[in-house]
């Protein structure tokens, strides 16, 4: 199978807040590309990082692990990380892994930008 970026991710910045918004499924195949975009977001040294998951229909543990790495990096760099837009299926894996209390999770991007 030809190698190409397996996931579409938009990265935008406004008022010192970087928003990383992946689309589609984030599984074992897609997580490494997602990680690259998250690191690019942190490289901009924003005052806050928002990961908008509204376009994510499915996530497995490699996707979750990528976000745990991002959380660790956010603490190291003192850049707050906010997750938003999770559908109930994506939220379920965070709950099963008992990570829903570890992340700051809000309903949508608007709330994340205010958080």
Partner 1 sequence: MAVVRRGKGFGRMSDKPDLLLEMVANPAYLCGAREMINQIAKRVGFPDSQACQIALAVDEALINVIRHGYDKDPDGRIWVAVTPLAATGEGVEGLRVVIQDEGRQVDPASIRGRSLDDIRPGGLGVHIIREVMDEVLYEKRHDVGSHGDLGMRLSMVKRLPNDAAPGSACGPGCSAGTCGTSEGLKQNG
Check binding of 53 to partner 1 (CB under 8 A).
no
Torsion-angle region of residue 23: left (phi > 0), alpha (psi -120 to 50) or beta? beta
CB of 101 to partner 1, least distance (A): 10
Tokens describing residue 65: 């692990």
Q: Are 23 and 56 in contact (CB under 8 A)?
A: yes
Angle between helices 88-96 and 61-77 (to 10 degrees): 80
**Closest CB to partner 1 among residues 96, 111:** 96
Choose which of 5, 36, 92, 107 interacts with partner 1 (CB under 8 A): 92
Binding site for partner 1 (CB under 8 A): 1, 6, 25, 27-29, 58, 60-62, 64-66, 68-69, 72, 88-89, 92-93, 96-99, 102
């Amino acid at each position: 199978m030809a190698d190409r970026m397996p996931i579409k991710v938009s990265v935008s910045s406004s008022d010192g807040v970087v928003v990383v918004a992946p689309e589609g499924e984030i599984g074992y195949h897609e997580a490494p590309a997602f990680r690259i975009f998250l690191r690019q977001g942190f490289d901009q040294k924003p005052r806050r990082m928002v990961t908008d998951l509204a376009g994510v229909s499915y996530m497995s543990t490699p996707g979750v692990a990528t976000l745990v790495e991002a959380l660790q990096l956010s603490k190291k760099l003192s850049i707050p990380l906010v997750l938003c837009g999770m559908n109930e299926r994506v939220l379920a894996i965070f709950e099963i892994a008992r990570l829903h209390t570890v992340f700051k999770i809000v309903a949508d991007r608007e709330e994340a930008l205010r958080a």
